[in-house]
Copies of this chain bind each other. A is one copy, B any other.
């Protein structure tokens, strides 16, 4: 199992950022690598168990299931159902913490997955830099 962890500080209150991030179908509106997203079966995006089906800029497609959503502690957990070849058992956790000093919040984004050992370095890069760090950088710009 490979683990990836990235974190940063955003210049907006946790409640404000959570309004955006709790939308499991909202990824395309802020993540630069994602161009189109929909929730399968027309489920609400905050129905635990729903599946988002989104397209990357490179044309590939990923299906992810919402495993948990918490308005209580600003946390979202999801699993990849169909994704990059050689990657399996991918679970990602995104969490916000209020920074009481200043209108800011701390954001953690981590992922765990299995892959063939010879693919570990490449997929760690794809997930950790391509998906997670690119997403965090975009969020930093979004909230100034």
**Chain A residues in contact with chain B, CB under 8 A?**
1-3, 5-9, 22, 43-44, 46-49, 67-73, 75, 77, 91, 97-102, 104, 106, 108, 117, 136
Inter-subunit contact B7/A100 (CB<8 Å): yes
Inter-subunit contact B71/A5 (CB<8 Å): no
Query: Majority SS of interface residues in chain A?
Result: strand
Q: Which residues of B contact A70 (CB under 8 A)?
A: 48, 67-70, 77
Complex CA distance for A43 and B47, rounded to whole angstroms: 9
Q: Which residues of B contact A7 (CB under 8 A)?
A: 97-101, 106
Nearest-CB residue, chain B, relative to A132? B100
Quick one: which of B1, B68, B97, B102 contacts A71, CB cutoff 8 A?
B68
- Stoichiometry, as copies per complex, reads 4
Quick one: which of B43, B72, B100, B102 contacts A91, CB cutoff 8 A?
B72
Inter-subunit contact B71/A6 (CB<8 Å): no
Complex CA distance for A44 and B102, rounded to whole angstroms: 37
Nearest-CB residue, chain B, relative to A99? B7
Quick one: which of B3, B6, B117 contacts A101, CB cutoff 8 A?
B6
Nearest-CB residue, chain B, relative to A45? B47
Inter-subunit contact B106/A97 (CB<8 Å): yes
Q: Which residues of B contact A104 (CB under 8 A)?
A: 9
Q: Which residues of B contact A3 (CB under 8 A)?
A: 1
Q: Which of A1, A104, A106 has the most CB of B within 10 A?
A: A106
